[in-house]
Amino acid sequence: MKNLIIRNFKLRKKTIVLYSLLLIFAPIQLLINNDLLIIRILSSIVAMIILFVSLLDSGHAFRFHSRLGHKQSLDFFGSLPVSKKALLDSTYITILLFTLIGAGILSLYNIPSSTVSKTGISYSITLPFSYIAINLFAVPIAFKRNLEQKSENISYLVYLLIMILFIPFLMILIAVGIQSLIGHQPIFLNYLELLYKYGFLIISIIFFISNYFIQYKKISNQQKEAN
C-alpha cells in the first residue's frame, strides 16, 4: 500500500509544487503593502490561481484516475500482485490527505463568497467545508472501489457542475420559495445556510466512511469465498 500512495503523490507532482508555492506566499501577503499597484495586480493573479485550483481540484479523484490511464488503469494494476484491500486503503488515504491539505492551504486566502442578495444566502467553492465535501462525495459516487475503477456514467465535468452549480442553485431556489410563503425570516435563512455549509459536509463524511466499510466487507467476503 505504501508504494501505491507514493505512486499517487508522484502523479500529482505539479499540484504539490503549486500548493507549496501558495503555502509560501500565504504569510507574505500579510506583510506586503496592498496600496501599491503592482501588489494589487499580483494579488489578483494569485486570487485567480486559487479560484482555478479550487475549481479544478474539487473532485480530484477524477484527476488521479485520468493520470492513471482512465479505463486502462484497472486492467494494468489489476494484473499486478496488489490486493484489492491495498487499492482501497491507498485510495482513501490519498483522497483524504490531498483534500485536507488542499482545503487547509486554500483557507489561508480570503476569497469572497458568492452571495444571492434576495435570500442573503452565501456560498463559496473555496471554503474548506464545501471543498472537503465535494472531494469526499466523489469516492462513494464515482470511485466506490478504488481510484483505478470509475463508475461509467459519471464524468468529471458533470460531477463538478452538479456539486458546484446545481446543488447551491437548488438550495437558493428552496430558500426563495419558502421565503415567498412565510415572508422574510432571517433566523430561518441562517439555519438554511448552516444546513448547506455544515450539513453538506457531515453527509459527505458519513457517505465517505460508510462506503469504506461496505467495500471492505465485500473484499473480506470475496477472500473468504476464494479460500
Condensed to tens digits (0 to 9), the pLDDT of residues 158-197 reads: 999 888 888 878 877 777 777 777 766 666 667 777 777 7
- pLDDT of residue 155 exceeding 60, the answer is yes
CA distance 87 to 78: 10
Other beta carbons within 10 angstroms of residue 175's beta carbon come to: 20
Other beta carbons within 10 angstroms of residue 183's beta carbon come to: 8
Cα-to-chain-centroid distance, residue 125: 9
Q: Is the sign of the CA dihedral 145, 146, 150, 156 positive or negative?
A: positive
At 115, which helix (H) or strand (E)? strand 114-116
Radius of gyration of the CA atoms of the chain, in A: 20
Per-residue model confidence as pLDDT tens digits over 22-75: 888 878 777 776 677 777 777 777 777 777 777 778 888 888 888 776 565 555
Residue 114's region, left for phi above 0, alpha for psi from -120 to 50, else beta, is beta
